């Protein structure tokens, strides 16, 4: 098997490996570095974050948080996630007390969050404009999540087939181009 055939065969598996690599890397980034993505679902943090933006967070121990940090919290009523800014923070006997407020909200959030000093919390450090809308759609609908993975797999398979047929087409075109040349040399030999 020549180098060309090896390259054509390896292209078949390249996109599938790439797809699984992206998934694996995202899982490793979260488990090792604590980096996550959270969609912004309301305008409470305007103008810094708009609805549909994607907040990039990193898990940090609560005792490392400071006033001014944007953290992702869970609503106590319906357990939805939201991002607000820390406006007051204090630590008493290993417990951190955090008061938050949305930048666009006129008043601070009701209640004070109490967490252990070494409990980790997602702290925002970046954003991707409008990327949160897609992530929110996928996360709200589990069927859509499986459909997206299915579409990704089909796209990968389609690209694999495209490169496979492209390689075969090149082979057959080169054979067709070589065939007339062989016929002319045979005719020349017969004439002599």
Tell me which residues are annotated as active site: 44, 84, 109
Among residues 92, 52, 96, the alpha carbon closest in space to that of 73 is found at 96
Give how far Cα 148 sits from Cα of 52, 53, 138, 142, Å. 19, 20, 8, 10
By the 10 Å C-beta count (0-12 exposed, 13-18 middle, 19+ buried), 118 is classed as: exposed
Which residues, 6 or more positions from 18, have their beta carbon under 8 angstroms from its beta carbon? 156
Half-sphere exposure of 43 (CA within 13 A, CB side): 3
Among residues 74, 75, 76, 72, the alpha carbon closest in space to that of 84 is found at 72
Residue bearing tokens 């045979």: 186
The encoded tokens of residue 132 equal 């949160």
Residue bearing tokens 């398979």: 157
């Amino acid at each position: 098997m020549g180098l060309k055939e090896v390259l054509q065969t390896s292209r078949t598996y390249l996109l599938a490996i790439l797809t699984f690599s992206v998934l694996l890397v995202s899982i490793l980034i979260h488990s090792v570095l604590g980096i996550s993505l959270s969609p912004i679902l309301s305008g409470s943090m305007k103008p810094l974050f708009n609805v549909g933006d994607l907040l990039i967070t990193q898990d940090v121990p609560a005792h490392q948080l400071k006033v001014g940090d944007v953290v992702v919290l869970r609503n106590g009523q319906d357990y939805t996630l939201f991002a607000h800014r820390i406006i007051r923070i204090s630590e008493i006997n290993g417990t951190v007390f955090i008061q938050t407020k949305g930048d666009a909200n006129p008043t601070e959030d009701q209640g004070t969050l109490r967490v252990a000093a070494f409990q980790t919390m997602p702290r925002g450090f970046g954003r991707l404009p409008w990327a949160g809308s897609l992530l929110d759609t996928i996360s709200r609908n589990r069927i859509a999540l499986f459909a997206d993975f299915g579409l990704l797999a089909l796209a990968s398979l389609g690209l694999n087939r495209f490169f496979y047929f492209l390689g075969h087409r090149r082979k057959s075109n080169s054979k067709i181009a070589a065939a007339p040349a062989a016929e002319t040399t045979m005719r020349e030999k017969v004439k002599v």
